[in-house]
Structure formats: C-alpha cells, structure tokens
Amino acid sequence: MIKKLFLLILFLLVGLVGIIGYNTVTNTPADPPNIAYSPPEIDKMAAAERLSGAVQIKTISISREAPVAAQEFEDLHEYIEAHYPNVASQLTKTRISNYSILYKWEGRDPTLPAAIFMGHMDVVPVEPGTESKWEYPPFSGKLADGAIWGRGTLDDKVSVFAILEAAEHHLKSGLKPKHTIYFAFGHDEEIGGENGAAKIASHLKEQGVKVAYTLDEGMVVVQGIMPGIEDPIAFIALAEKGYLTLELVATADGGHSSMPPRKTAVGKLARAVSRIEQHRLPASMRRPVTDMFDTLSPHMPLSLKAVISNRWLLDPILISQLGKGGATNAMVRTTTAATIFNSGTKDNVLPTKATAIVNFRLLPGDSIQSVIDHVTNAVDDPEVEIRIKQGNEPSKVSEHNNSSYGQIKKTIHEVFPDVLVSPGLMLAGSDSKHYEELAENSYRFLPLRFGKEDLGRVHGTNERILIDNYAEIIQFYIRLMENSGN
C-alpha cells in the first residue's frame, strides 16, 4: 500500500517536472522582426535649438489655486507658430481653455477612427534652493555636453516639440496620414489636467470624434531593470494606477494630561495607522503586469523563465518575490503610504483630535470603494473616521493584441532596432485618464532612453535630454505618422 502511494507520488512529481520543463523550454522568443527601414536624416542641432528656445519660456504650473502663467503660454503659442510654419498654416488649431492646443491633421480616410498624439506644455517649478545645484540654469535651455538642459526637456516639452518637428517634416513634403491625427497639448497636466486634457477630451466627444488610440508620455526605454535581460526594453504602458488620499480622524475628550482617559486621540490614531500598515492590500498578478511577464519571460534566465512559464502553478512564489521589492511590489498591489500625522499643541494638554493622511496607489482592478472597505476593516474602530480627501480610479487596461498597439510596436522596432517592446503598467499618473471614455485604447510611451540616474531628473535637478535621443524621438514620431492607421 505504502509502496503504491509512493509510486503514485513519484509518478505525479515526474509528470509535474515534465510539464514545468516543457512549458519552460517551449517559452522561446519570437523571431526578431525583419526590419527594412532606415530613418530619414534630420538636422538635429536645429531641432535642439528650437527645443532650447521653448524651454526658455517659463510655462510653469504652480498649483490649482495659483494663476495660470498666461503671458508665458501666449509666448509659447507664438513661438510654435513662428517656428513650425507648415503646422501653423496647414493644420486646424483650436484653443481650449485659452491655453491648451488641439491641432487637427485630416487623414486620407476621415471615416477611420483617429489617433491623438499628446504632450503637455506646462512644467513643474524648480524647488527653491536647488537652483545652484544645476549644471546649467534650469530655464537656460543650454546646449552643452551633447544635451539640451532645462525644465521640460524630459517632462514634457520633449513630446510637444518632437511631435511638431515630425509634423513639420511631413507637411513640407506633403504627406497626408492615413487616418486623422490630432495633437493635443495640455497646459495644466502638472496640476491635474482638469482645464486642459479633460476639456480637450470633452470637446472631441461633443464633436462625435471616434478615437482608435491616444499616445501620451508615460513609460520609457530602460536597460538593466529586468533580471537577466540585457537589451533595452521599451515599455508601452497599457494602464496607469489610481490615486487615493484618505484622511483618518480620531477624536477624544480634551482636558488636562494629569488625569488622562484610557484612550487618547493620539493613541487611537496611532493604532489605526499601524493596523493599516500591517494589513496591506493583497498582492495579485493582473493585467497589464501579466502581459509584461508573458512578453518578457522568453528572454529571461532559466530559473525565472521556469517560474513565469508555469504561473498556473507557481504564481504564489512569483507574487511573494515581487512583493519584496519596491518597484516590483508597486506592480502587484495597491500600495499604502502614511505621509502626514498631526495632533497636539502642548505637552500637558490632551488633544481632542488627531489626523493622519494615508496615500494609496490603486492597482487596476481595485477601486476607491474596495480600498476604503479594506481600510475600514483593518482599522476596525468606529471612533476613527475615514474621509476621502482626493481620489481617482485606476485606468482601464488597454489591449495589446490590436492594430493600434501593433503600429506603435512596429515603429519602435524600426527606429530602435536594439530594443525589446513590452506592455507595462505606469505607476504614476498622466493626462491619459481624461481620454478614458473617448479613446478605445490609451498608450503611455515616449522613447526617452533612461539610465538609472535619469529618473531623478524628472521634476528634479539637472533635467536634460541627450540631443541624439531627441533626434531618435523625432524619428519615432515621423515614422509613426506614416505607420499609424494602417
């Protein structure tokens, strides 16, 4: 009997190993695409000069309450019209909320759903006190060391001006895209996009415009972040995480600290925050993160490939490994971050109130309500009130097995023959969320080549773009304008 059982277990184990092995071995990369394309020569120094000029116009978004940098946006509009005369004369321009720009470039077949190429013209301020740490002043647009320096060179005047360069290139030679292409340049992305992108989207909706896809800033080309993959990877984000800020409020009787009650407001709140940290939201593998692993696993080393090729069995191992990292944890769960804790005024006075702020970034599939339910259960204290301070739901997850994604992917392979292309999940937010209802699919990708130190330049010190990379980005849009809609 025992012998039979032993044989049965052995048989099952061998079978299992066989399946795991088979799935691993057959998970091989697709043949590399056959590329017969060479990008057109462009005058990259002249293009760099034009971006430099745009960086010098201080279109800063400070806060929702602060006034718009009206004169600077007017100047930028004029600058665009002066430097991109064919765009100005051949495309239809609509001003939205005074300062955002919508250009329409009618396609050869206007009945096809359109594409929208997005970018934002506003930039974040330079943190006071950090100006002197810049190699070149942040609004100098200095051309030095093979780069263009200043605010907006990565986020996101680069998109706006690379799109304009590409359009000007084609308009000079009379190209008409297959389907209609819009350029949507917001003026308030850095403070939420409510007057820019949101209004552009509702304008297009009112006009009954059908949109196949939007392409916006988001993920980039990175190297050395996926274990065992040496080639640079272009991540096209299919979704972005949601955003939720909760305020926790604990109240108690005030009075003198010489005769305190058993539970103080501070104690109740501390317990609540601690319980929220102990009860993180559960981790899980969902699209688009599963799409990413399915796409990249054939290129990974054997051990990882074995796990990812057998997710039906080994998902728990994968999830627990990913949950240990910082960035990888953020890909598999709604993250929790307690950021503000406030109470008390005097060392011998009992505060009547204590408040804390906790910020969550929601994984697609979770919702504001599901997070609030989870937090309410975790806190499990009717004396702690939970209020929403700010929130937007995670985006929907766009498709990657369709022609729109295929056109972007093909364009990347043509212009960047050295890179792999993969779906991804954007951990931060973008203007794309405002197009959710309008566009069938929203993609968030800009072919910036990022090294480890470059992430800190975005919204940080020494923001700059290499001129060679800027030229590649222009070539990417040039080619995409030819490929899009086909």
What token pair was written down for 416? 């960047």
Which residue, 156 or 414, is less far from Zn ion as judged by CB? 156
- End-to-end distance of the chain based on CA atoms, in angstroms? 66
Does 165 sit near Zn ion (CB under 5 A)? no
Cβ 337 vs Cβ 359: under 8 Å? yes
State the nearest-atom distance from the C-beta of 127 to Zn ion, in Å: 16
H/E element, 219: strand 211-222
122 is catalytic: yes
Which residue, 54 or 265, is less far from Zn ion as judged by CB? 54
78 is catalytic: no
Which residue, 99 or 293, is less far from Zn ion as judged by CB? 99
Pairwise CA distance, residues 87 & 68, whole Å: 25
State the nearest-atom distance from the C-beta of 236 to Zn ion, in Å: 16
Pairwise CA distance, residues 63 & 267, whole Å: 34
State the nearest-atom distance from the C-beta of 217 to Zn ion, in Å: 5
How many residues line the site for Zn ion (CB under 5 A)? 2
**DSSP for residue 434:** G
Which residue, 44 or 459, is less far from Zn ion as judged by CB? 459
| Helices of type H across 335-452 | 368-379, 403-415
State the nearest-atom distance from the C-beta of 425 to Zn ion, in Å: 17
Q: State which of positions 235-264 bind Zn ion (CB under 5 A).
A: none
Closest CA to 326 of 361, 369, 373: 361
Pattern 109-148, Zn ion, x by CB under 5 A: ----------------------------------------
What token pair was written down for 80? 């665009």
Catalytic position from the list 122, 168, 291, 463: 122
3-state helix, strand, coil in the chain (%, to 5): 40, 25, 35
State the nearest-atom distance from the C-beta of 52 to Zn ion, in Å: 19
H/E element, 52: helix 44-55
Catalytic position from the list 156, 168, 189, 216: 189
Which residue, 368 or 426, is less far from Zn ion as judged by CB? 426
What token pair was written down for 460? 């940080």
Q: State which of positions 143-162 bind Zn ion (CB under 5 A).
A: 155-156
Encode 141-158: b = buried (16+ Cβ within 10 Å), e = exposed. Answer: bbbeeebbbbbbbbbbbb
Which residues in this chain contact Zn ion in the complex, by CB under 5 A? Answer: 155-156
User: Which positions are catalytic?
Assistant: 122, 189
